[in-house]
Amino acid sequence: MNPNKILLVDDDEDILDLLEYNLTKEGYSVETALNGRLAIEKANTFIPDLIIMDVMMPEMDGIEACGEIRQNPLLANTIITFLTARSEDYSQIAGFDAGADDYITKPIKPKVLFSKIKGLLRRNSQEVKNVESNSSMFIDREKYVVMQNDVEISLPKKEFELLALLMSRPNNVFTREKIFASVWGDDIVVGDRTIDVHIRKLREKIGEDYIKTVKGVGYKFVDIEN
Amino acid sequence: MNPNKILLVDDDEDILDLLEYNLTKEGYSVETALNGRLAIEKANTFIPDLIIMDVMMPEMDGIEACGEIRQNPLLANTIITFLTARSEDYSQIAGFDAGADDYITKPIKPKVLFSKIKGLLRRNSQEVKNVESNSSMFIDREKYVVMQNDVEISLPKKEFELLALLMSRPNNVFTREKIFASVWGDDIVVGDRTIDVHIRKLREKIGEDYIKTVKGVGYKFVDIEN
DNA sequence: ATTAATATTAACTCAATGTTAAGCCAGTAT
DNA sequence: ATACTGGCTTAACATTGAGTTAATATTAAT
């Protein structure tokens, strides 16, 4: 299934119509909402892959809505992007705190916006690359090792790919479904406990605190301060 | 010699001046370039240890320049880092494809940038140091022999080329696919066990511990202390 | 308290790799 | 010519350990 469901949230109907029209024409499945509260409702049923949301809205603003949406495990992998005026510096910071993935500054040309959307959605399905986070750990695909505080940890293939996936988006929850699809491939079927066992082995090797279980949802890699 | 040569590439002279001033003060040897094309020229003669390059530039963008630079074997050990806006997700992905090692998101505080640079160069110097300390073994293409602790080991062609390939990037994993492509050529087809047998003969001659198997992935040449 | 989800452990399976020896071929010495 | 030589490949079989499973324990949510 290609990721292509977009939820647009803005209090200006003209903008909604314009974007909806053009994005639909591009082949995306689009829904809209006029404020934060409605956005939450729509998101819970529509399960979009991407939410583009204005910050300033009546009823419930984007920041608050974002926080709510991030509570829903089903939307763990949904990318949330804010629309924000260039100068509203504070909203950007608050937005990231609330769990936003990105922000787009207004005004923006439709063409630029579309290519941006394409890029964002592509990220979800991208092959996992070397990952450099500002944590004490990073993946070295060339050497096929994980560096932890300048110590090399070598891992078997499946464990390595699993960790690489989780680290590709720290703090982001990966569902078991996504993990299977990415590490094992869509066709191969293995038992339910297989992921658990690999997670366990990883925790044994890199420490208990890096991989966090989100019960009923999946697993995430969290950054640890030195 | 410590790795300390940095090439800065950005179309904004103010930024170049600022960074150059501060990095020079930190003891680095710094050169600058205003666009991708100039960057390639400078890189070819300056042989920097680290290139910090803006993605968006006139004349030739960072991605393209990165690809070009990666063609030059002299710059194989040069770290290439992109400067990119937080939201330009696509450029990050394309950057890795082009051979970038890392990316730094703008805006960034100078202090953070400096510590990041330090980290990047330190990582590189450690690798280089390992290679040098392991002068217990090196390839002599002229004589077509491998020197191990001042002892000449002469190897048949295939074994020699295989070892030379692995040693060309110590600690790096080479997949069977790549080994075939490099040592045998893309067209020639040989059986699955052929590589194994050559690996075995090499291990017999140079010792068991130099070539490590990464099951399901490939082989790598590892440095050995003393 | 009940239950579903996850953790843990150890045993098992099988694909990937290791090992050995024999065969083939090109170059070369007899 | 013929036989020898060393390099390379192949095939058959052995071995290994990554990956999986299954059984049981523990945990978190209601």
- Following DSSP, what letter does each residue of B69-135 receive, concatenated? HTT-GGGTT-EEEEEEETT-HHHHHHHHHHT--EEEEES--HHHHHHHHHHHHHHHHHHHHHHHHTT
User: Which residue bears the tokens 């989100």?
Assistant: A214
Q: pLDDT at residue A144 above 80?
A: yes
- Interval A135-160 mean pLDDT: 85
User: What is the per-residue pLDDT for B71?
Assistant: 75
* pLDDT confidence tier of residue A41, bands split at 50, 70 and 90: confident
* pLDDT confidence tier of residue A211, bands split at 50, 70 and 90: very high
Please give the nucleotide, over all strands, whose C1' is closest to the CA of residue A184: D19
Which residues make Cβ contacts (< 8 Å) with residue A64, sequence separation at least 6?
Answer: A36, A98
Q: Which of B78, B223, B122, B175 is nearest to A142 (CA)?
A: B175
Q: pLDDT at residue A128 above 70?
A: no
B220 at the A interface (CB within 8 A)? yes
B118 at the A interface (CB within 8 A)? no
- Six-digit token string for B56: 């968006």
Nearest CA in chain A to B94: A119
The separation, in Å, between residue A45 CA and nucleotide D29 C1' comes to 23
- Number of Cβ within 10 Å of residue B12's Cβ equals 11
Which residues in chain B land under pLDDT 50? Answer: 86-93, 95, 126-134, 226
- Number of Cβ within 10 Å of residue B215's Cβ equals 7
* Nearest CA distance, B76 vs chain A (angstrom): 13
Task: Give the whole-number percent of chain A exceeding pLDDT 70.
Answer: 76
- Tell me the torsion sign for CA atoms A135, A223, A82, A58: negative
State whether A119 and B93 contact (CB < 8 Å): yes
Bridge partners, B54 (sequence order): B83
User: What is the per-residue pLDDT for B89?
Assistant: 44
List the single residue in A120, A132, A157 with the smallest CB-CB distance to B89. A120
* Nearest CA distance, B146 vs chain A (angstrom): 23
Which residues make Cβ contacts (< 8 Å) with residue A97, sequence separation at least 6?
Answer: none
* pLDDT confidence tier of residue A40, bands split at 50, 70 and 90: confident
The separation, in Å, between residue B202 CA and nucleotide D22 C1' comes to 42
Q: Mean pLDDT highest for which of A15-29, A196-210, B151-165?
A: A196-210
**Overall pTM > 0.85:** no
Helix-, strand-, coil-residue percentages of chain B, each rounded to 5: 45, 20, 30
The pLDDT tens digits for A161-186 are 999 888 877 778 888 888 998 899 87
B96 at the A interface (CB within 8 A)? yes
B217 at the A interface (CB within 8 A)? yes
B126 CB neighbours in chain A (<8 A) are 150
CA angle, corner B92, sides to B91 and B95, nearest 5? Answer: 80
Q: Which of B179, B159, B177, B180 is nearest to B169 (CA)?
A: B179
Query: Which tops the pLDDT comparison, A144 or B186?
Result: A144
Comparing A43-52, A88-97, A195-204, the range with the smallest average pLDDT is A88-97
CA angle, corner B8, sides to A104 and A143, nearest 5? Answer: 85
CA angle, corner B123, sides to B122 and B129, nearest 5? Answer: 85
d(CA A84, CA A149): 38
User: Which residue bears the tokens 């939820």?
Assistant: A7
d(CA B152, CA B26): 44
A116 at the B interface (CB within 8 A)? yes
The separation, in Å, between residue B207 CA and nucleotide D22 C1' comes to 41
Q: Parallel, antiparallel, or unpaired: how do β-strands B5-9 and B29-33 relate?
A: parallel
Cis omega before residue A58 (within 30°)? no
B96 CB neighbours in chain A (<8 A) are 129-130
d(CA B179, CA B159): 12
List the single residue in A119, A122, A144 with the smallest CB-CB distance to B217. A144
Q: Which long-range contacts (CB under 8 A, 24 or more apart) does B151-157 make?
A: B153/B205, B153/B206, B155/B202, B155/B205
A120 CB neighbours in chain B (<8 A) are 89
Distances (CA, A) of A39 to A7, A25, B137: 8, 22, 64
Chains A, B: CB pairs < 8 Å: 46
State whether B87 and A116 contact (CB < 8 Å): yes
User: What is the per-residue pLDDT for B97?
Assistant: 52
Identify whether the C-beta of residue B138 lies closer than 8 Å to the C-beta of residue B147.
Answer: yes
Nearest CA in chain A to B96: A129
φ and ψ at residue B219, rounded to 5 degrees: -125, 155
Cis omega before residue B107 (within 30°)? yes
Mean pLDDT of chain A: 78
- Six-digit token string for B162: 């295989």
A138 at the B interface (CB within 8 A)? no
B93 CB neighbours in chain A (<8 A) are 119, 122-123, 126, 129
CA angle, corner A217, sides to A212 and A218, nearest 5? Answer: 45
* pLDDT confidence tier of residue A30, bands split at 50, 70 and 90: very high
B224 at the A interface (CB within 8 A)? no
d(CA A126, CA A136): 24
User: Which residue bears the tokens 């629309």?
Assistant: A83
The separation, in Å, between residue B179 CA and nucleotide C26 C1' comes to 24
Q: Parallel, antiparallel, or unpaired: how do β-strands A145-148 and B50-54 relate?
A: unpaired
List the single residue in A102, A122, A129 with the smallest CB-CB distance to B96. A129
Query: Which tops the pLDDT comparison, A154 or A60?
Result: A154
A116 CB neighbours in chain B (<8 A) are 87, 89-90
State whether A157 and B126 contact (CB < 8 Å): no
